[in-house]
Amino acid sequence: MGNAFNPCEILEIAIGIEENGRRAYESFEEKAKDPKTKEMWAYLRAQEAEHKKTFQDMLDERRNCEVQEFVPGEYEGYLQAIASDYIFTSKIIEEKIKKGFSSELEAIDFGIQMEKDSILAYSAFAEVLNNKEQAVLSKVITQEREHLIKFTEFKTYLKKGG
């Protein structure tokens, strides 16, 4: 990535975020022992694949990728931070896929953090997308919040002995 970002690059980051999530959840699904846990990871994997397709469709439809800054330099600095987080998180996800977790609860906590990071990034991205894309992104953010709820409920289930 260069020093400046544009909406197309934002969508490419979003595609990468969703692909990271899909791969992570697929790996966690393969390693899960409990059938309900395996089912939850499969559901989340499918959701991430769906979100990736949504962002890819948005990118494919986009014609204008110009940066719109309200305050000079603000956009670039903010998105540099988001992109750095994305790159850092990508490396952590790769490590977790290879190493795994010491428990299902640890994996759930990691999933919760992944979803929170996605919500934060997508909330920042919304400011530079057009109205139609913002509406689509809003739906994705709502689904990511639902994933957080699902994780929290599942964490409670596991703590009670599943």
**Does residue 33 sit within a domain?**
yes
- Residue range of the domain that includes 125: 7-159
The pLDDT of residue 3 is 41
Q: How do residues 45-100 score in pLDDT, each as one tens digit? A: 999 999 999 999 988 888 767 655 555 666 666 666 666 666 667 788 888 888 88
What is the CATH classification number for the domain harbouring 41?
Answer: 1.20.1260.10
DSSP for the chain? Answer: --S---HHHHHHHHHHHHHHHHHHHHHHHHH--SHHHHHHHHHHHHHHHHHHHHHHHHHHH--------SSTTHHHHHHHHHHHHHHHHHHHHHHHHHH--SSHHHHHHHHHHHHHHHHHHHHHHGGGS-HHHHHHHHHHHHHHHHHHHHHHHHHHHHHTT-
User: Has residue 60 been placed in a domain?
Assistant: yes
The total number of structural domains in the chain stands at 1
2 in a structural domain: no
**Whole-model pTM above 0.85?**
no
Domain annotation covers residue 147 = yes
Is position 49 within any domain?
A: yes
pLDDT of residue 99: 87
Q: Is residue 116 part of a domain?
A: yes
Lowest mean pLDDT among 7-11, 55-59, 105-109: 7-11
Q: Is residue 1 part of a domain?
A: no
Does residue 18 lie in a domain region? yes
Res 63: pLDDT? 72
Residue 8: which pLDDT band, with cuts at 50, 70 and 90?
confident
pLDDT in tens, 111-160: 999 899 889 888 888 877 778 888 888 999 999 999 999 999 999 988 88
